């Protein structure tokens, strides 16, 4: 048997999602007031610097003529207990006369935690851990920012039902449908950088831009490759927005004439160090991601493959979210490139395990959202 307030927590989670992107670098949080088995007020954290979800919910209650003291508060994240850009929500909850609070996830931020303890000390009944995993998934971006120096990275790939990402001669336009492609442009609008591997750059000649009318700022374009282009004019990125294009490459490639030519056009050419402990000379992608967050204030990045880069991002724990756009198409060609490449497990115990957290229909496609099992 689950907790009786689980259905209301699911509503709070759905509300919180409406604040996605805008709340950053704060967590996305939703809250509802429940009276006699019905939701009577709602709120979510709409944007950084704006009132938190609990306060928005109390404001909605006032508008609806609801007395909060007669309600239970259901909130996805523990009410904060400190003065930041806004006063502590724990005090606002107590001052509203609420006597029962249901929490999804206790706040992992040491600066803000303690709201549950404060409320209990003041006679409020507090239940915690209701749909805890779902509420943790809701704030994985925030946890990434608090616990690591990395941006939150979304890995996105499109494939056929048999896991192919292009034909054997490299054609991939279009595997997914127009609705899914529009979803990608929404992602690009909200991230600070789009990352691809060198093979994808050379074969697809992508723009890596958000083609939504009215977008004011385009994401940076990052290409990871040891083979820098000698003919920049052949690539859309290098003719249309070289100043927003970054190459992550080896020390040797960064010192070539090709690198100088790219820098002369306005591109950034940045050598990545060899990953510590990697005897094969693999580049430290994490170093580049930390640089994006530190130097360009990128809280979110989007990686769009190809297969070897995608696998590395998952294996190294650098992609916190994987969105697979699966189209109802079958290629049935063993020589066509697959979603991932670079492993040879001997048994099923050696495979890379993922955890499904959401599925949704997108036109004719299915979008499956996954994380690594330990995340």
| Binding-site entries | 52, 80, 89, 158, 172, 174, 188, 200, 204, 208, 211, 226, 304, 306-312
Report whether the peptide linkage leading into residue 25 is cis, meaning its omega lies within 30 degrees of zero: yes
- Binding-site sequence positions for substrate: 172, 188, 208, 211, 304
Q: Using alpha carbons, select from 91, 323, 363 the residue that is nearest to residue 188.
A: 323
- Residues annotated in a binding site for NADP(+): 158, 174, 200, 204, 226, 306-312
- One of 54, 56, 78, 321 is an active-site residue; which one? 54
Alpha carbons within 13 A on the beta-carbon side of 332: 3
- Ordered alpha helix ranges (H), 148-194: 178-190
Annotated binding-site residues for Zn(2+) read 52, 80, 89
Q: Say how many C-beta atoms besides its own lie within 10 A of residue 351's C-beta.
A: 10
If DSSP states are collapsed to H, E and C, what string results for 122-136? Answer: CCCEEECCCCHHHHH
6 noted as active-site residue: no
Tokens 């991002």 belong to 313
- The per-residue b/e assignment along 177-192, b for 16 or more CB within 10 angstroms, e otherwise, is beebbebbeebbbbbb
The CA distance from 332 to 299, in Å, is 39
Render the burial of 236-275: b for 16+ CB within 10 Å, e for the rest: ebbeebbebbbbbbbeebbeeebbebbeeeebbbbbbebb
Enzyme catalytic residues: 54
């Amino acid at each position: 048997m689950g907790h009786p307030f689980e259905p209301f927590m699911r509503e709070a989670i759905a509300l919180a999602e409406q604040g996605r992107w805008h709340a950053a670098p704060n967590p996305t949080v939703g809250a509802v007031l429940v009276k006699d088995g019905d939701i009577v007020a709602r709120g979510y954290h709409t944007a950084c610097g704006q009132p938190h979800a609990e306060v928005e919910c109390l404001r909605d209650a006032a508008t609806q003529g609801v007395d909060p003291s007669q309600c239970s508060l259901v909130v996805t994240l523990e009410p904060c207990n400190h003065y930041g850009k806004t006063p502590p929500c724990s005090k606002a909850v107590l001052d509203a006369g609420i006597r029962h609070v249901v929490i999804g996830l206790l706040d992992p931020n040491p600066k803000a935690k303690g709201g549950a303890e404060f409320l209990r000390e003041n006679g409020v009944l507090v239940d915690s851990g209701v749909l805890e995993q779902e509420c943790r998934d809701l704030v994985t971006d925030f946890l990434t920012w608090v616990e690591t120096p990395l941006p939150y990275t979304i890995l996105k790939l499109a494939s056929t039902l048999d896991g192919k990402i292009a034909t054997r001669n490299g054609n991939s336009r279009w595997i997914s449908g127009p609705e899914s492609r529009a979803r990608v442009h929404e992602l690009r609008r909200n991230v600070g950088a789009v990352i691809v591997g060198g093979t994808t750059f050379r074969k697809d000649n992508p723009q890596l831009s958000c083609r939504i009318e009215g977008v004011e700022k385009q994401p940076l374009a990052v290409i990871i490759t040891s083979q820098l282009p000698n003919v920049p004019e052949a690539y859309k990125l290098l003719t249309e927005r070289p100043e927003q294009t970054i190459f992550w490459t080896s020390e040797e490639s960064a010192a070539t004439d090709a690198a100088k030519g790219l820098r002369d056009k306005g591109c950034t050419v940045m050598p990545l160090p060899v990953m510590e402990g990697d005897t094969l000379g693999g580049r430290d992608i994490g170093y580049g991601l930390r640089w994006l967050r530190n130097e360009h204030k990128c809280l979110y990045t989007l990686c769009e493959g190809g297969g070897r880069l995608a696998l590395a991002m998952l294996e190294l724990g650098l992609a916190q979210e994987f969105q697979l756009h699966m189209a109802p198409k079958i290629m049935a060609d063993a020589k066509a490139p697959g979603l991932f490449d670079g492993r040879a497990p001997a048994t099923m115990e050696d495979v890379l395990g993922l955890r499904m957290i959401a599925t949704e229909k997108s036109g004719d496609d299915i979008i499956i959202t996954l994380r690594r099992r330990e995340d």
